[in-house]
Structure 1
Amino acid sequence: MAPVVSQAAPQCQPQTEYEKLYCQIKAKDANVALPSFEDFRRNDPQVQALLLKRPAARWGLAVPSPKVAPRPENSAAPKASAQVTPPAIEPPSRKSPAFGNTGLGECILQGDSIRCPGRQFELVSNQPNRALPNGVLSEENKLGLPSFTGDLKDEVSVRRYLSTAYDRYIVKMLEIGLGGATMSFTRFYNGFWRHQSQGVDYAQRMESTYHYLKQDKKTLAVKARLHSKLPANLDNCSAVNGDILVCDDVATSWVFVRAG
């Protein structure tokens, strides 16, 4: 049965379980602390589940666990305007300068570990608040992504910006204990172009989402692992810096942090 959507949430046109739950909550309380429907649907299912958990609990609504294979990225994305046309190709592979010219070629994936010469990386789980440094969930702690100010037609410049912004996003998600709920670089890349097509500053939208995640993290317990899937190989892995590696398969991302 389709959820009842009140006049307080006229923008709701749900297509997924989480979107239906969002609309149910908005129908019950139009002033609930949730991002706009369009902003909400741009997040990964893992992040959507985190955003819904607290308001759903207030109304006795269950939040289903995120599925390992979420819907395709472009299933509900708005069409790009004529002024902003994203590249037709897949996002480029991210380089690993922290590992020199050899990249990750000398590393070996072993389950939830990546072993490289002289160092080892372990898969990150979401962390309880007691394990976090003081102040990381405060209002003062910002995501702080810079806004893109270059030429959108300069593909090299856009890719460089997004790679740098994504590195900061990963570090800041680890900082608030949500390293196990990050979006993949592909989704980050596509999200940027979707926002540009609507004339929306991606950095500001991401800052808003980060704010909501911090608020929920203060009062809600988060599962250490949202799924049991692991990367199949190191083909789509790259270094954020010398201490952090990120792997993804377009839909799912995994963050590995240097042990010791």
Structure 2
Amino acid sequence: MADRFCWLLAETYYEQIYCELQASGQGADLPSLLDFRRNNDRIQALLLRRPAARAGIKVAVPADLRSPVPDIVVAEKPRKAGNGLDGCKLDHLSLVCEGGRYSIVSNQANSRLTEGVLGASNKIKMAVFRGSMDDQPAKAAYLARAYRQYLEKMMEIGLGGSTFSYAKFAYLLDDVMVRGVDFAHRFETMFGFLKEDKQRIAVNEVQPDSLALQINQCDRFGRQLVACNNGRKNYLFRRQD
């Protein structure tokens, strides 16, 4: 399923622009996403510039295509003590804690979604980050809130089984903002295209037979959600009250 959802694979700013061009019908002359990834960001910007101009899509590039992009420092999720999952155990496709059980979230067919969630009026409405990118505590706090909101919206449109890890989400924030682009606006654009894709492409609702996970690969995001990543796939668990 994921190979037909370009936006689920786009992990950088330029990859998002690539997917936007494909969706607009202006990506015919671009290489495959895999080949596109093999280029550095300056070559990627050059590849995108002409088709983006035809599509009326603005592409942020280094000032002269030679000046270096600052190193990206990914903000870690703020922790109070450990990952907040002391005493919890993974039990097949569930996470069992003293306070309750969390079940794995899978993708859902459109027929199982709340009416209207794939419509144009449904927005993420993510807050804009107005702090300094050098203020790591402020950035981490913003990311924790924004990531939870992202997870909730992905579940709402039936893509809870195809989410970014927190690390990829945090990297994308820096990769977008270091180019002077509004992160919240970028994610709103992505969400709009994901809803369009979801209306025309079927998803695989089958849950995995087993999970190669350890509890130290998981983090809480609010009371209801736990996200786990084993380096290959992100798994989302929702509390069952």
- Same-fold call, TM cutoff 0.5: yes
The partner residue of 1:160 within 127, 130, 141 is: 141
Q: CA deviation at 1:109?
A: 0.7
Q: Identity over the aligned pairs, expressed in percent?
A: 28
Query: Normalising to structure 1: TM-score of the pair?
Result: 0.65
Aligned to 1:202: 183
The one-letter code sitting in structure 1 at the alignment partner of 2:148 is D
Q: What is the root-mean-square deviation of aligned Cα atoms in Å? A: 3.7
Q: CA deviation at 1:75?
A: 6.5
Aligned to 2:49: none
Aligned to 1:183: 164
Q: Distance in 1 between matches of 2:187 and 2:176?
A: 10
Determine if contact 1:125/1:180 at 8 Å carries over to the other structure.
yes
Q: Distance in 1 between matches of 2:154 and 2:196?
A: 13
1:78 aligns with 2:37: no
Q: CA deviation at 1:252?
A: 2.2
Aligned to 1:41: 15
Determine if contact 2:225/2:238 at 8 Å carries over to the other structure.
yes
The structure that is helix-richer by fraction is 2
Post-superposition Cα deviations, 1:65-119, rounded to whole Å, max 9, x if no partner, equal xxxxxx9xx97663896685432xx642454x7xx98820110012211001131
**Residues 1-260 of structure 1 correspond to what in structure 2 (within 5 A)?**
39=13, 41-42=15-16, 78=41, 84-87=70-73, 91-95=75-79, 103-225=84-206, 230-260=211-241
Gaps of 5+ in 1: 1-17, 23-35, 56-70
Post-superposition Cα deviations, 1:165-184, rounded to whole Å, max 9, x if no partner, equal 10100011011110001000
Q: Distance in 2 between matches of 1:225 and 1:159?
A: 33
Determine if contact 1:94/1:238 at 8 Å carries over to the other structure.
no
How many residues were matched structurally? 201
Query: Normalising to structure 2: TM-score of the pair?
Result: 0.70
Q: CA deviation at 1:239?
A: 1.6
Determine if contact 2:94/2:104 at 8 Å carries over to the other structure.
yes
Gaps of 5+ in 2: 26-33, 43-61
Instruction: Name the SS for the 2:101 alignment partner.
Output: strand
